Each structure stands twice: as C-alpha cells, then as structure tokens.
Amino acid sequence: MKVLLTGSAGFIGSHVAEVLAEAGHEVVGLDLRSGADVRDGAAVDRLLPGVAAVVHQAAKVGLGVDVADLPAYASVNVYGTAVLLAAMARHGVGRLVLASSMVVYGEGAYDCAEHGPVRPAARAEEDLARGRFEPRCPRCGARLSPAPIGEDAPMDPRNAYATTKLAQEHLAANWARETGGVAVALRYHNVYGPRMPRDTPYSGVAAVFRSALEAGRPPRVFEDGGQRRDFVHVRDVARANLAALVAGSPGMLAAYNVASGEPHTVGELAAALAAERGGPAPVTTREYRLGDVRHIVASSSRARRELGFIAAIGFAEGMREFAWAPLGAPEPG
C-alpha cells in the first residue's frame, strides 16, 4: 500500500522506511531534514492523495533540558499530530501507526511481597542523595520487585516529552472515534542501533555510552547501575511498525509495548559496549537525575498475541553490532 511516513529521515524513521519498502509498500517520506514540516497542513495535503496509511514517527524526542523546551515539544508533537490527523480526515486516510513511548507509564510496575502490585511515588531527592535508589512500597516501606508493565497500566507522564506522547495517543483515539479510522500506538522501550543520534542532552543512554567510548572516555553509569530497561533494536522496532499496518480495529486506538522482552541493567549495557570496544571500563558514579525512573521493563505479550511481533535481535548480538555501528547526527527541531 502507499504509506506516508513522517520523520522518514530520522533514526527510527529511516529504518521503518527500509523495512516498509522491503515488504513492497510504496513509501512517501515527510521530514524536517528535507524541508517538510508536519505542522504545515498544505504540505501534508500535497502528499496524502492515494495514501492508505500514515506512519507517524516525526517528533521532538528526548527528555528536554528545562521548561524553555515546553513550547517546542507541544508544537511539534501535539500541534503537529493534530494537523496531520485533520489532513488525514480531509483525504479519507483511515489508518494511523503512531510512535509512542514507554515514558507514558512513568515509573515501571512493582510487586510488594506483602501488598502485591503497587505504584511507588517518585523517589525523594533525600533518598537518592543517600544512595537509596530502589523505590519502596508506599504502604509498608519494603523493598519491591520490578514487574513487566502491561499496556493497561495507569498513565503517569512525568516530563514534557511524556506528556506530549500521551497527548498524541489521546488525539489519535479522538480521530479514530470520530472518523472510524484504525489507530495503533507503539510504545517503544529504549531503542538503540545503527544511526542512533550521537550524544546530546536529548540522547538516550545507549548513544551517550557509545559516544563516550568513541571519544576514549569511560561510560558514566548513574545511580548504582542496577536500574533496568528493555533495550530494543531499531530494526525490530521497524518490523513492529510493519506488523502494525495490518492490526487494530476501526474506531479505536490500540496500544502495544515494543520491546525485546529481555531486560538488562544500565550497568550491563555499559559493560557490554565497553567490552566490545576494548574499553575504557565504565565508571559507576552514583549521580542521579531527579526525573529518572528506576526500573521500567515491558510485558511483550500483547504485541506477540495481537501483532505477531517478537523481537529477533538479542542483547549480545545487538550490542556487538551497535558498539561499532555509525551514529547519526543529532535530531533537528
């Protein structure tokens, strides 16, 4: 089918473009890097005739630096998605795949041995400063075990990026209900792989570590390195987008975690990359960032069941490639 891919020249978008084209789809790209802005309704109008589905990857990404970033996040991510959805309605395009993020959940899921599933509050600065990194049971203060988070977990966006990703999901659900369209939101966990944008204040940790190693500096592991994430390879993420093109139901938004199903700690990530490159060895600094969550790992079962999506690239194999893969330019906008 003919697919409009926004963000087609970006890190994830460029891999999505390759996978869609390999599967025989005709890909029409829209990207700020080639002068086309998703906020420009007339530009979107020119690209939509004949398009059967939109895959929306264009976004301002990362955690942001401070409140001065708020207008840019709201403009690109919220307003841009609104412009796109209105244009889709004008052209009768009935299918959307949206790049969302696990950041919509906030802190991951946890079990207390005594109280079962609990939602810990944000960690207190005083605890972090004393090196008490693990969240505690809000009822008894006991240490918790991290559990895989499912798509029905409550939403708890804790920064501007997360808030705008959740707003995109809500707008997509509104659009689906109003138009009878099919919307699928893919909640990416920590994506890494070739062409990941190199180290900026907006980069994910895998790119930060890779950039440090390339410059001969040790990766700096914050907290005690025991924080867990699900690092998912960008080609697997692209395959999930392909699968999402034929999923979902009219009139609603379906959301899926896109993850490897193989959680690892940030310390393990640093060690694996440093080992592949022959050092320098990581240093664990016990620094902390107030906005960081401790553990967030995904349940991949809904994506497996409903999209038939299973990640194919394991951690060891993915890190072997990523340690030496070319990084991309910092993201624009």
Q: How far apart are CA 210 and CA 227, in angstroms?
A: 18
Q: Which long-range contacts (CB under 8 A, 24 or more apart) does 78-82 make?
A: 78/164, 78/167, 78/168, 78/171, 79/39, 80/37, 80/38, 80/39, 81/38, 81/56, 81/167, 81/168, 81/171, 81/172, 82/171
- Asked if 62 touches ligand UD1 (CB under 6 A), the answer is yes
Sole window of 56-64, 77-85, 175-183, 273-281 interacting with ligand UD1 (rule: CB under 6 A): 56-64
Residue ranges in 128-157 that form contacts with ligand UD1 under rule CB under 6 A? none
């990857």: which residue's tokens?
Answer: 57
Residue ranges in 201-240 that form contacts with ligand UD1 under rule CB under 6 A? 203-205, 208, 220-222, 227, 229
Sole window of 55-63, 88-96, 130-138, 251-259 interacting with ligand UD1 (rule: CB under 6 A): 55-63
Peptide bond into 146 cis (omega under 30): no
- Asked if 101 touches ligand UD1 (CB under 6 A), the answer is yes
Sole window of 58-66, 89-97, 122-130, 298-306 interacting with ligand UD1 (rule: CB under 6 A): 58-66
Kindly report the number of other CB atoms within 10 A of residue 249's CB atom.
11
DSSP element (H, E) containing 44: helix 41-47
- Nearest CB to ligand UD1, comparing residues 43 and 74: 74
Kindly report the number of other CB atoms within 10 A of residue 105's CB atom.
25
Q: How far apart are CA 269 and CA 231, in angstroms?
A: 9
- Choice from 16, 28, 98, 102 touching ligand UD1 (CB under 6 A): 102
Q: Which amino acid is at 109?
A: A
- Choice from 5, 32, 103, 307 touching ligand UD1 (CB under 6 A): 103
- Asked if 73 touches ligand UD1 (CB under 6 A), the answer is no
- Asked if 255 touches ligand UD1 (CB under 6 A), the answer is no
Report in angstroms the alpha-carbon separations of 173 from 44, 92, 189.
20, 16, 21
| Contact code string over 259-298 relative to ligand UD1, x by CB under 6 A | -------x----------------------x--x------
- Asked if 16 touches ligand UD1 (CB under 6 A), the answer is no
- Nearest CB to ligand UD1, comparing residues 15 and 189: 189
Contact set with ligand UD1 (CB under 6 A)? 61-63, 101-103, 161, 188-191, 203-205, 208, 220-222, 227, 229, 266, 289, 292
